[in-house]
Amino acid sequence: MRGWRFVVVMVVLCLASRSSIGAAPTLNQAERDAGWALLFNGHDLTGWTMSGGNPEAWAVNGDSELFVAKPGEGWWLRTDRMYRDFELTLDFFLPPGANSGVGVRGSSDGDPAFTGMEIQILDTHGQEPDVHNCGAVYEAIAPSAMAVNPPGQWNTYRIMLVGDTLNVWLNGVRIHAGQKIDSRGYFRSPESPLPMNKRATTGYIALQDHGHAVRFRNIKIRDLSTDPEPSGMTPVVLNDSMMRKGGGSWEGSGRTIIGRDGPGHLFTDELPGDIEIRALVKVSVEGNSGLYFRTVPNKDNPDSWPTGYEAQVDNDDPVNFTGCIYDRAHTTPPYEGRGCFTRDEVWFDYRIRAEGDHIRTWINGIPVVDAYLDNFDTGRIALQTHNPGSVIEYRDLRWIEIKPE
């Protein structure tokens, strides 16, 4: 009888252990109080979007794990929301020889490893650290130690990115300590520089399908951004129904819209007057543009400057520089007199919030304008290409209506 009791106890323990492994992820009270949220619910792909490939390539198994079900067919799986500053934790499981990665601050178009950055996942246990193996900021920064476990074991990443400073722990080992997002980094070859400090300053969290059956679980995030992105923003994609006025040319791919030369303007449909707009923006050297809102074509000359508010994009104008509302509102204390917050040929994130007559702008989360203006109530979004030789790129332009609380 004692032997039977032992067997029964062992079976119960094994079932309990199996149950705990397969349980959906949860947050304890301390985590909730600290602002943590689940990025993966353990049941399905709610909150995630395929960036290309077969929509069935990523799946969820009975152990509440997110995994590559059809290796090589899924490319990147990204979050629905964008994050600038955050703390992220996740577990990953590597089969022998497997390759994957965690994309941070990447955009919806292009490879997140290079539009933002990739924290590498790779079966390189026992190897010397370099810019390609596990723990590296891919093709930019080598980890200080090789902390990945042998294949067939679970590993845990903790990634904290705030402003221009990165800290990463792998299996409890701090492999990046206060690393700066600076001029390091290249695209495929050191002969093709792609500095980290020219890439997107906000973006999606993404997981990479590199052709191997990698598994993930316990994916949690704490948004540390000064202005977290609201859920449910609507993307703006270039299409034939958009109204074009004036000169210049517009081309688009995915969620990227590029304007050249000019002057000319590209208008969306009519949108609510109370609105929040966000976008990644990059302008050429000595380039000029504007992100108009509550605007309509000029009734006297539709091909000239529109009637409405222009959130300026000009890194060289000493008065109407990027973030200002052109000729209507400029920087406010304590930022007054500090000048432009970005530079040419560098991606930055623009945020505009128009709520009644309260107009505000931010560049990379830094407040620029906080003003009360009563000139315009409603209208469209319009993108400007300003002059011959100027190139302006808008990526992941999106908006949401501000509704009364």
Q: Tell me the per-residue pLDDT of 229-241, one tens digit each, with 9 for 90 and over.
A: 999 999 999 998 8
Please tell me the predicted confidence (pLDDT) of residue 331: 84
Other residues' Cβ atoms within 10 Å of the Cβ of residue 395:
24
Indicate the pLDDT class of residue 68, thresholds 50, 70 and 90.
Answer: very high
Phi and psi (nearest 5°) for 276? -115, 135
Rg (CA), the chain: 24
Longest dimension (CA), the chain: 98
Q: Tell me the per-residue pLDDT of 89-98, one tens digit each, with 9 for 90 and over.
A: 999 999 999 9
Percent of the chain with pLDDT over 90: 87
Q: What DSSP designation does 228 have?
A: P
Mean pLDDT lowest among 13-17, 265-269, 345-349: 13-17
H helices, E strands: number in the chain: 3, 28
Are 116 and 251 found together in one domain? Answer: no
Phi and psi (nearest 5°) for 239? -150, 165
How many alpha carbons lie under 13 Å from residue 132 in its C-beta half-sphere? 5
Please tell me the predicted confidence (pLDDT) of residue 311: 98
Other residues' Cβ atoms within 10 Å of the Cβ of residue 324:
23
Are 148 and 254 found together in one domain? Answer: no
Would you say residue 276 lies in a domain? Answer: yes
How many structural domains compose the chain? 2
What tokens were used for 189? 């070859």
State the average pLDDT over residues 31-49. Answer: 96
Are 258 and 289 found together in one domain? Answer: yes
How many alpha carbons lie under 13 Å from residue 23 in its C-beta half-sphere? 10
Q: Tell me the per-residue pLDDT of 115-150, one tens digit each, with 9 for 90 and over.
A: 999 999 999 999 999 999 999 999 999 999 999 999
Q: Which domain holds residue 297?
A: 234-401
CATH number at residue 147: 2.60.120.560
Are 33 and 147 found together in one domain? Answer: yes
Average pLDDT over all residues of the chain: 92
Q: Tell me the per-residue pLDDT of 170-225, one tens digit each, with 9 for 90 and over.
A: 999 999 999 999 999 999 999 999 999 999 999 999 999 999 999 999 999 999 99
Please tell me the predicted confidence (pLDDT) of residue 107: 96
pTM score: 0.91
Are 275 and 389 found together in one domain? Answer: yes
Indicate the pLDDT class of residue 332, thresholds 50, 70 and 90.
Answer: confident
Closest CA to 395 of 295, 274, 283: 283
The per-residue DSSP string of 123-161 comes to: --TTSPP-SSSTT-BTTTB--SS--PPPTTSEEEEEEEE
**Distance separating alpha carbons of residues 275 and 353, to the nearest angstrom:** 6
